[in-house]
Amino acid sequence: MFHVEHQKNMGNKAETLKQSITTLPEKPGVYQYFNAKNEILYVGKAKNLRKRVASYFNKRHDDNPKLQVLVRQIDHLQYIVVDTESDALLLENNLIKKYLPRYNAMLKDDKTYPSICINNDSFPRVFKTRKIIKNGSQYFGPYSNVYTLETLLQLIKGIYKLRTCRLPLNEEKIRKHRFKVCLEYHIKNCTGVCEGYQSAEDYRKNIDEIAEILKGNANSISKLLLVEIKKLADEYRFEEAHELKEKYDHIENYKSKSLIANAAMDDTDVFGYDEDESAAYIGILRISKGCVVQGYTIEYKKKLDEEREELLALAVVELREKLQSTSKNVLLPFDLEITFPDFSIKTPRKSDEKKLLELARQNVAQHKLDRLKQAEKLNPDQRAARILTNIQNALKLPKIPMHIECFDNSNIQGTSAVASCVVFRKGKPAKQDYRHFNIKTVVGADDYASMKEVVSRRYSRMLTEGTPLPDLIITDGGRGQMEVVRQVIEDELHLEIPIAGLAKDKRHRTSELLFGFPPKEIGMKPTDELFKLLAQIQDEAHRFAITHHKNKRSKAQIGSSLDEIKGIGAKTKEQLLLKFKSVKRISEATLEELTAEIGEKRAEIIAEFYRQK
């Protein structure tokens, strides 16, 4: 290990480091950056140490503020020369895990993922565990897909009937009859090895077969079972042959669910890659004789906007080490400028290998989605922010639409015309900001004129009051409604607010999103979260408009005749409606019925009014 240190009496730190870097060897190796407190900041690998380290100090890094911060903190560095770039990658991976540098992409803690353990007892148990104890036990995994793990355990339990008890079994204690069988034996989930009903040799043979299955060698077990079945049948030992046939069928059923490629395919590790702004998700599928025998995904938290090639190379080393893979073939989703002595890498463009890459990508994408959902359950605002960012990207808006307003009209045959404006803030309804409007200047059923009146009233008032304007306006309608709103916003009020339109199909369901002038359809699937939010906004605007319209229509119907009667106040009308339930029944009531409820004088006024009508 070589040490290059900055001395404070040598002038500018950056210049001193630049001079020191000129002495670095042009060989593969690993470099480590330290701050003035001798705390390790970053570990990196290089094909050429001098060129790679110099690149940090010869550029301004204006496009990467995080890297600028790192460079400002570097006080001195150390480096280690190795023979090959693959050696550098292995060493880099080890140093990162050992020192956890602040600016390296960090492997997220995955201790919660379970493994399958075959413990080191004289009569081993097979079980799921999240703890790795180095006591001679065998561990298979970890499994990021718990369903796969449970499927394997169910297969093992169905075939081998192993013990599940924690009794300290050994052959001597069994010979002395120290133990008794339990319920598991009586319900045929255990062979009763504790009382010697199954020999130690036979039990160990089963354990060896289980280990082969967990390694992915189910084919070899099937072949051995088939040979044994034929041998027993030839010897007329049909009952024993039948028991082995059940084992064989179990394994073949498991293989049929796992087979995804040519069964003659050599052992292969297939990698999938996905990422977002803050993390990279990289997964491995281990293939053995055409079967997926193991799948696992890890997550790297980005620190310096690392290149995907850098993160994939780290993950290849990490995942193969974690899963103890000895496969000689590795399939990658994109090329790496590095070679490995122990295995060959390939980026296939077609055939079955390409299908395997797609399967690995799908598994990584699902893992990424699962992690996202888990995070959003803990922080609901995170989900809303993500969906709003998707809206911004889909419509190419200048900023995230944290404040959205949507308009809708409602009338029946031109009567009681109203409109609504619903407000969504941070993707959620802000009901205290909802507004409804009675149409004042439009006669008859003219949706365009009504929309123009309402939008003009809404934003003229907001401008006058100095209220913050929305980031996006949505109209419940197509191109015509959008143009009317544009005329008000741009031509009349001289504002710059993006305008979108949501059109419905014949079944009155949200069918398309329109944006721009002239409007163009923005492609979305009905299952997209973005589409669901926009449909929710549109439905809420329609619901609010309909509710206000019903209220207005009801008031008009109730007051159409009772409000015309002079001398009858609000309390009397309320009393009559509570008694007779409707204006029609009041008009048909006899004088005696009315008198009994509100007195003779007011009853005569009402009866005379309806007699004249």
Could you report the per-residue pLDDT of 376-425, keeping only the tens digit for each?
Answer: 666 777 778 888 988 898 899 999 999 999 998 876 544 557 788 999 99
Does 377 or 125 have the greater pLDDT score? 125
Percent of the chain having pLDDT more than 70? Answer: 88
Query: What pLDDT was estimated at residue 10?
Result: 36
Cβ neighbors of 390 (< 8 A, separation 6 or more) are 529, 530
The pLDDT of residue 341 is above 60: yes
pLDDT tens for 482-529 read 999 999 999 999 999 999 988 776 666 767 788 988 888 887 777 778
Res 13 pLDDT > 90: no
* The model's pTM: 0.57
Share of the chain above pLDDT 90, in %: 25
* Angstrom distances, CA of residue 486 to CA of 382, 440, 466, 479, 497: 32, 21, 21, 10, 9
Residues paired with residue 540 on neighbouring β-strands, in sequence order: none
CA angle 89, 94, 96 (to 5 degrees): 95
What's the rounded Cα separation, in Å, for the pair 195 and 543? 72
What DSSP element (H or E) covers 145? none
Average pLDDT (242-264) is 68
Q: What is the pLDDT of residue 8?
A: 41
Rounded Cα distance between 140 and 155, Å, is 15
Report how far residue 504's alpha carbon sits from residue 477's, in angstroms, rounded to the nearest whole number: 7
Residues 6+ apart with CB under 8 A from 572: 598, 602
Q: What is the C-alpha separation between 453 and 409, in angstroms, rounded?
A: 11
Q: What was the pLDDT predicted at 9?
A: 37
The helices-and-strands tally (H runs, E runs) of the chain is: 20, 21
Average pLDDT over every residue of 183-212: 90
Binned at pLDDT 50, 70 and 90, residue 272 comes out as very high
Q: What is the pLDDT of residue 397?
A: 92
Using DSSP, state whether 75 is helix, strand or coil: coil
Least trusted range by pLDDT, from 303-317, 319-333, 413-427, 459-473: 413-427
Integer Cα distance of 473 and 549 in angstroms: 22
Contact (CB, 8 A) for 44 and 92: yes
Q: What is the pLDDT of residue 408?
A: 85
- According to DSSP, the β-strands at 29-34 and 76-81 are antiparallel
Q: Residue 548: what pLDDT?
A: 65
Confidence of residue 112 (pLDDT cuts 50, 70, 90): low
pLDDT for position 401: 93
For residues 315 and 161, the answer to whether their CB atoms sit within 8 Å is no
Q: Report which of residues 313 and 414 the model is more confident about.
A: 313
Residue 454: other Cβ atoms inside 10 A: 27
34-48, 332-346, 364-378: least confidently modelled range: 364-378
CA angle 46, 48, 51 (to 5 degrees): 100
Task: State the Cα–Cα distance between residues 164 and 191, nearest whole angstrom.
Answer: 11
By the 8 A CB rule, do 574 and 434 touch?
no
Higher pLDDT, 570 or 69: 69
pLDDT, mean of residues 52-60 = 83
Worst-scoring range by mean pLDDT, 8-17, 194-203, 468-477, 559-568? Answer: 8-17
Q: Is the pLDDT of residue 218 over 90?
A: no
Indicate whether 552 pLDDT > 80: no
Would you state the pLDDT for residue 547?
76
Q: How many CA atoms lie within 13 A of 606 on its CB side?
A: 28
Most confident of 66-75, 139-148, 396-405: 396-405
Q: Is the pLDDT of residue 145 over 80?
A: no
Q: What is the mean pLDDT of residues 330-339?
A: 91
> pLDDT value at position 228?
83
* Cβ count near 133 (within 10 Å): 11
pLDDT in tens, 518-541: 888 887 777 778 888 888 888 888
pLDDT band at 6 (very low <50, low <70, confident <90, very high): very low
Judged against a pLDDT cut of 80, whether residue 110 lies above it is answered with no
Task: Return mean pLDDT, the chain.
Answer: 83
Name the least confident of 343-357, 413-427, 461-475, 530-544: 413-427
The answer on pLDDT for 258 being more than 70 is no
pLDDT in the model for residue 503? 78
Given a contact cutoff of 8 angstroms between Cβ atoms, the answer to whether 169 and 193 are in contact is yes
Confidence check: pLDDT of 5 > 50: no
| DSSP-derived secondary structure letter, 497 | -
Give pLDDT, residue 406: 92
